[in-house]
């Protein structure tokens, strides 16, 4: 069985903490065999997932879990919704965020808990 490291991060549900989440993501993945562009993509996706949670606005904290494995990284963000159209003032922005995540990650899985974003490591 492949071993994995799990890193958990919880931040208050405030826009001020998105940059911290981006930094933390950078720190978690900097030792992986990823290009600068791939690391940037991961930071963008995590930020978009956090913005999704912020826009829905019914949780006190944003919960992010990084599962680092030899061949992939799985980033799980709780409370992300795939369909935000009836939950936000600007549904197009919400849809765009999900599209960005789907286009930059190798796999995206929506669960009742939130989103799982998977990036494979070559």
> With 80 as the cut, is the pLDDT of residue 74 above it?
yes
Average pLDDT over every residue of 62-81: 96
pLDDT of 18: 96
Instruction: Supply the DSSP symbol for 50.
Output: H
pLDDT of 10: 98
CA-nearest of 80, 106, 109 to 95 is 80
Kindly report the pTM of this predicted structure. 0.92
> With 80 as the cut, is the pLDDT of residue 91 above it?
no
More confident residue, 82 or 42: 42
Task: Kindly report the backbone phi and psi dihedral angles of residue 112, in degrees, each rounded to the nearest multiple of 5, phi listed first.
Answer: -60, -25
- The C-alpha atoms of residue 87 and residue 106 are separated, in whole angstroms, by 27
pLDDT of 88: 66
């Amino acid at each position: 069985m492949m071993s994995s490291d799990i890193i958990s991060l919880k931040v208050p549900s405030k826009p001020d903490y998105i940059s911290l989440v981006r930094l933390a993501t950078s720190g978690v993945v900097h030792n992986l065999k990823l290009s600068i562009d791939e690391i940037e993509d991961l930071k963008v996706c995590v930020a978009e997932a956090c913005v999704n949670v912020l826009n829905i606005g019914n949780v006190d904290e944003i919960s992010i879990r990084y599962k680092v494995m030899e061949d992939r990284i799985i980033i799980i963000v709780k409370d992300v919704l795939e369909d935000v159209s009836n939950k936000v003032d600007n549904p197009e922005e919400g849809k765009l965020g999900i599209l960005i995540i789907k286009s930059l990650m190798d796999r995206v899985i929506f669960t009742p808990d939130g989103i799982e974003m998977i990036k494979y490591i070559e």
